Amino acid sequence: MSCGPVEGKFRLLDAYVGWSEVGVPPNLSGLDDPAGLRLAPQDPGAVTAEVWAYIQPPHLARGCGVCDWYLLTTGRARLLRRQACHPEWQPLWTPACDPSRFVEPIAVAAWQHRVAVADVGARRIWVWERNGRTLVAEIATHGVAAIGYTECGDLLAATSHELRRFGPAGEPRGQRVQLPALAGRPFAIVGDRDGGLWLVSKQVDGTLRLLHAPRGSRSFVSADLDNLRAVSLPATGLGVVTEAGFCLDESGRGGIPSTRCWNWHGRAASSAEVGTPPELNLHRNGELLTRALDSDLPRCRWHRVQLDADVPPGTRLQVQVASTDDPAVAPHQQDWRPLSNTALDFLIDQPPGRFLLLRITFSGDGHKTPVLRRVRLDFPRSTSLDSLPTVYRENPRAEDFSERFLSLFDAGVADLDAAIEQFPAAFDVAGARNELLPWLASFLDLVFDPSWDPTRQRSILAALPHLYRLRGTVAGLQLAIRLVFDTEVAIQELAFERAWGKLGQQGNARLGGVRLFGKSKARFALGRSGLSSAPIKSYGNPDLDPVSSGAYRFRVLVPPGRLVSGLAAQRLALLVESQKPAHTQATVRTGGSGFVIGSLSAIGVDSVLGPLPAPVIGAMGNVRLSRMSVLWPARRGSHSTFVLGNPVVVGVQTVLE
């Protein structure tokens, strides 16, 4: 450490230790916010356009995957789709096959391969599946203003006074949630992973309000962006949303972040054409006045004031201080000494006094505000002059100049000392600043994906030492996928499932536990195998079948969800390739809604046991005779299907279709 002035005391003012304010600061907000004090909005319930980073606006909806989007155009209403990160928007239906009957559509919502459009002119909500190929529901509504989906696939429809929930086929579900009396109308809605509901309403003057209904609640309450950031809502990727268009922040080729912008007709636009979202109308002036701060030192010479703040152009922070020995007596107006209007670090030029009062004035232009995160007060005055001979203090005016002059160098040395003291904390994953996380990852040969938020980056860094010890194992691959995708997968090692047994002291055959197969059953051989009893293979050495069958091969079984297709599936395949042993071959298999019969099926991962859909004959039915349907017999007729628990021989008494 450097040999600077004698270490003194200091006092902090921030959201953690308090601001020691006198009453409620007029026109200021953020007393309890670690982000800092700022000028408050003139409308306290309004939120900024940052809300679209968590909730999709009414004319945009993200479908299955990361880059699959739907756009409901303005003017001539059309439903466009953009998939696989393609730069162009394409109509969802061709003109000859367009089934839509839009009159006045106002909103679009999507969940996986399902898309819904609300039309106030037709008083309908249409729901399509298979990316618009099949119309599965037509919901009659009146006065609907916003629609959205929950995490489990329920459709939400909001009117001016209540919210209703519908199932995949348009059937009503759950209780209705009441909306408070608002000056505006519902604009966008979404459900979070905890079962809560979030609603954005638009006021007459264009400002946005945020409402929240916790899980199980039947009414909405006011919320702000801090509440929204605290829940587990996935980021939409929307960087800018204005009346002219919108911009998407995506990962381009090689994982490099890129931004693309379009207007509301689906045509490409520049960021200048899209513009910037309107800001809140803020108060232009505000003031923070502190109580008398006690130094516990008689006739203390207060030394220094440091502000941790952001002061955008067009805004100002003005600091005034006053010292006193009697906190019960308010300082005279002429006792207040204004400090610099531009600096954030300055010396206190006040007579000695045990107590110090602080007045900070915030000034803005109505749209931008200074942000004050912390104030540090150092006392008593201590500079490098204390280490020099007393001859430099003989002249009071020379002493004052020397103290102020040396304080410039003391401040620089103190900053260097603080950086050295805090350097070990930079290696703490939980406490390091967000901008240091990529630097920490470089020590462990890790490059972050641009789509990972700081929370995911910290969790991966914290688990990385343990993950390296497990690398190349089944547990290690499962942990890597869980950290990156929040998904539990099953690893199926095919070598353990090959149909071979071995007798002897070192064998693995147990009576009743292992079936022994001969070569004539594993591969068709002339003169040995019976017809239809062994598969015909044109590759490999038959003598090595017991060893090579399924060797060094495994499957990653992923449950159905957001990793089925698109960019997420590609990232999953790349992650598996990077974490598996080099001599092995891996395949990724994502589950669906059907049942797969065979020895390699994993119930609960890629299979669902369920009945056949009830057959309906007609233009809108699901019956195609001799192709994909089984007609059920009459009530008194004989059943041709099998029932679990009854004696049935597959292939003799029954046929699986």
Q: How confident is the model at residue 621 (pLDDT cuts 50, 70, 90)?
A: low
Q: What is the pLDDT of residue 611?
A: 59
Worst-scoring range by mean pLDDT, 117-131, 138-152, 372-386, 569-583?
372-386
Name the 3-class secondary structure at 151.
coil
Q: What is the pLDDT of residue 503?
A: 55
Q: If you write DSSP's letter for every residue of 324-391 in order, what string do you get? A: ES-TTSPPPGGG-EE--SS-SEEE------SEEEEEEEEE--SS---EEEEEEEEES---GGGGS-GG
The C-alpha atoms of residue 289 and residue 358 are separated, in whole angstroms, by: 6
Inter-axis angle of helices 474-485 and 566-579, to 10 degrees?
Answer: 150
Q: What is the pLDDT of residue 288?
A: 94
* Residue % of the chain over a pLDDT of 70: 80
Residue pair 485/572 in contact by the 8 Å Cβ criterion: yes
Worst-scoring range by mean pLDDT, 68-82, 177-191, 561-575, 579-593?
561-575
Residue 531's contacts (CB-CB under 8 Å, 6 or more residues apart) are: none
Would you say residue 635 has pLDDT above 60? no
Residue range 243-258: mean pLDDT, rounded: 75
Residue of 376, 413, 378 lying closest to 9 (CA atoms): 378
Q: What is the pLDDT of residue 173?
A: 86
Residue range 386-399: mean pLDDT, rounded: 76
Residue 357's contacts (CB-CB under 8 Å, 6 or more residues apart) are: 289, 290, 291, 292, 293, 321, 322, 323, 324, 331
The C-alpha atoms of residue 397 and residue 411 are separated, in whole angstroms, by: 21
Would you say residue 363 has pLDDT above 90? yes
The count of residues in the chain is: 657
Q: How confident is the model at residue 615 (pLDDT cuts 50, 70, 90)?
A: low
Token reading at 464 = 């990385």
Name the 3-class secondary structure at 485.
helix
Q: What is the pLDDT of residue 152?
A: 84
Would you say residue 1 has pLDDT above 50? no
Would you say residue 274 has pLDDT above 80? yes
Distances (CA, A) of 105 to 99, 121, 264, 489: 14, 7, 14, 40
The C-alpha atoms of residue 444 and residue 471 are separated, in whole angstroms, by: 14
Q: How confident is the model at residue 633 (pLDDT cuts 50, 70, 90)?
A: low
Distances (CA, A) of 117 to 109, 147, 175, 247, 448: 7, 8, 22, 22, 37
Would you say residue 434 has pLDDT above 80? yes
Domains and CATH numbers, the chain: 9-40+282-382 (2.60.120.260), 55-234 (2.120.10.30), 237-278 (no CATH), 611-657 (no CATH)
Residue range 460-469: mean pLDDT, rounded: 90
Residue range 23-44: mean pLDDT, rounded: 89
The C-alpha atoms of residue 107 and residue 144 are separated, in whole angstroms, by: 10
Bigger pLDDT: 648 or 619? 619
Name the 3-class secondary structure at 466.
helix
Token reading at 261 = 């912008």
Which phi and psi (to 5°) does residue 240 adopt? -135, 135
Residue pair 245/238 in contact by the 8 Å Cβ criterion: no
Q: What is the pLDDT of residue 370?
A: 93
Would you say residue 496 has pLDDT above 80? no
Which span out of 116-130, 177-191, 221-235, 598-612 was modeled with the highest average pLDDT?
A: 116-130
8-state DSSP, 607: B
Q: What is the pLDDT of residue 310?
A: 92
| Tally of CB atoms within 10 A around 64 | 20
Worst-scoring range by mean pLDDT, 247-261, 327-341, 391-405, 590-604?
590-604
Which H or E run includes 414? Answer: helix 396-422
Q: Strands across the sheet with 304-310, in order? A: 9-14, 371-379, 304-310, 345-347
Would you say residue 122 has pLDDT above 70? yes
User: Angle at the Cα of 334 (from 333 to 336), degrees rounded to 5?
Assistant: 75
Distances (CA, A) of 488 to 241, 401, 475, 478, 561: 35, 68, 11, 7, 11
Residue range 195-222: mean pLDDT, rounded: 87
Q: How confident is the model at residue 37 (pLDDT cuts 50, 70, 90)?
A: very high
Residue range 517-527: mean pLDDT, rounded: 73
Place of tokens 């996380």: 437
Residue 164's contacts (CB-CB under 8 Å, 6 or more residues apart) are: 156, 157, 158, 172, 176
Q: What is the pLDDT of residue 510?
A: 61
Residue range 446-474: mean pLDDT, rounded: 87
Residue range 233-247: mean pLDDT, rounded: 88
Token reading at 279 = 């800001």
Residue 497's contacts (CB-CB under 8 Å, 6 or more residues apart) are: 550, 599, 600
Which H or E run includes 421? Answer: helix 396-422
Q: How confident is the model at residue 6 (pLDDT cuts 50, 70, 90)?
A: very low
Q: What is the pLDDT of residue 72?
A: 92
The C-alpha atoms of residue 436 and residue 146 are separated, in whole angstroms, by: 41
Which phi and psi (to 5°) does residue 479 adopt? -65, -40
Beta bridge partners of residue 440, listed in sequence order: none
* Residue % of the chain over a pLDDT of 90: 22
How distant is the alpha carbon of residue 111 from its chain centre?
A: 16
Residue range 216-232: mean pLDDT, rounded: 83
Q: How confident is the model at residue 648 (pLDDT cuts 50, 70, 90)?
A: very low
536-562 pLDDT per residue, tens: 877 777 777 777 777 888 999 888 766
Exposure string for 213-231, b = 16+ CB within 10 A, e = fewer: beeeeeebeebbeeebeee
Name the 3-class secondary structure at 608.
coil
Tell me the pLDDT of the chain averaged across its residues.
80
pTM given for the model: 0.54
Would you say residue 112 has pLDDT above 50? yes
